[in-house]
Copies of this chain bind each other. A is one copy, B any other.
């Protein structure tokens, strides 16, 4: 059932070069010391992804590795933290071959360079079930400055980065929708599903600006709902202000149903955050500096829950499925 010993040694050989810090002891010690940074807190987060649940069996190995890593980096970005290191446990089905694992390690290696991080340790085991990857990621944030979900204030505005719904669109394409679309459009959406772009570049800039922040993983409505709930506020989303890509318009059109699908779909890994109106200019400057678009899509009120509003200010009913499940 489990890979043979020689295979585990081979795996160790593939991953050892990813431990680019002395703290990791070349992955030979089953433990490491965490890199600490003077004047900073260490932020930690953990997420697991499972084949057939969070990614498709046929997804390329390097994108699977990158998705596993990036969903965690996205959590760090939402906290205003700069990523530093990660640990990984892998449960591998007997069918996993070395070529696949090599591409998987290459995907991690590329991302380590992109995000300036190192592997610190982990564990590989066999499983009779699907490939399961669990990652714990660490980042640094100036002491006491970590962004929380729970600190949205009445009167704050709601912002979101990038565009919303592309990942759900990409999954739909992978499942057979949009066969009439050009390859370029289909690939764009699939790429958005397979390889999220954690908004690491914005993390530092949001400190001292955002009052509350979350990454959009369960879906915009669900995640803004988490801010509303933990902050004890009501958040109103102007749904027609929610930024969507041309590719997504191509797939689903621009009707109301398309819009509701976009704001219910998961896996975007954009950031949704609240901030006082007076910081709007700084937010736009941050967007210009980083090249990441930031859109104002709503505001925070007294009350509870999430409310949707159209461009005439009329209430829109919440769609039934508004997050949580990936398929």
**CB atoms of B136 and A52 under 8 A apart:** no
**CB atoms of B31 and A44 under 8 A apart:** yes
Q: Known: A89-B46, A136-B136. Is A5-B324 also a contact (CB below 8 A)?
A: yes
**Which of A22-30, A110-118, A165-173, A282-290 contacts its partner?**
A22-30
**CB atoms of A1 and B34 under 8 A apart:** no
Residues in B neighbouring A4, C-beta threshold 8 A? 325
Closest 10 CB pairs of A and B: A129-B129, A134-B134, A48-B89, A136-B136, A46-B87, A5-B324, A34-B42, A31-B45, A89-B134, A33-B41
For residue A186, CB closer than 8 A to chain B, the reply is no
**Chain B proximity of A24: nearest CB distance (Å):** 10
**CB atoms of A129 and B130 under 8 A apart:** yes
For residue A230, CB closer than 8 A to chain B, the reply is yes
Q: Known: A53-B2, A89-B134, A136-B136. Is A44-B129 also a contact (CB below 8 A)?
A: no
Residues in B neighbouring A42, C-beta threshold 8 A? 33-34, 36, 42
Residues in B neighbouring A91, C-beta threshold 8 A? 48, 50, 132
For residue A43, CB closer than 8 A to chain B, the reply is yes
**CB atoms of B29 and A149 under 8 A apart:** yes
For residue A146, CB closer than 8 A to chain B, the reply is yes
**CB atoms of B45 and A121 under 8 A apart:** yes
A37-68 with Cβ < 8 A to chain B: 41-50, 52-54
**Which of A13-21, A73-81, A175-183 contacts its partner?**
A73-81
- Taking a contact as CB atoms closer than 8 A, the residue among B2, B78, B122 that contacts A327 in the complex is B2
CB pairs A–B below 8 angstroms (6 shown): A2-B325, A4-B325, A5-B323, A8-B324, A34-B42, A45-B87
- Taking a contact as CB atoms closer than 8 A, the residue among B2, B33, B52, B76 that contacts A43 in the complex is B33
Residue numbers of A with Cβ under 8 A of B are 1-2, 4-5, 8, 25, 28-34, 36, 41-50, 52-54, 75-76, 78-79, 81, 87-91, 120-123, 125-130, 132, 134, 136, 138, 141, 146, 148-150, 214-215, 226, 230, 323-327
Given contacts A30-B75, A44-B121, A46-B87, could you give 5 more A-B pairs where the C-beta distance is less than 8 Å? A1-B52, A5-B325, A30-B149, A53-B126, A89-B134
A87 to B81, CA, bound (A): 18
A325 to B214, CA, bound (A): 41
Residues in B neighbouring A32, C-beta threshold 8 A? 43-45
**Chain B proximity of A227: nearest CB distance (Å):** 10
A148 nearest CB neighbor, chain B only: B29
A3 nearest CB neighbor, chain B only: B325
A149 nearest CB neighbor, chain B only: B29
Q: Known: A28-B149, A44-B120, A46-B136. Is A127-B125 also a contact (CB below 8 A)?
A: no
**CB atoms of A53 and B122 under 8 A apart:** no
Residues in B neighbouring A214, C-beta threshold 8 A? 30
A125 to B134, CA, bound (A): 11
Residues in B neighbouring A89, C-beta threshold 8 A? 46-48, 134
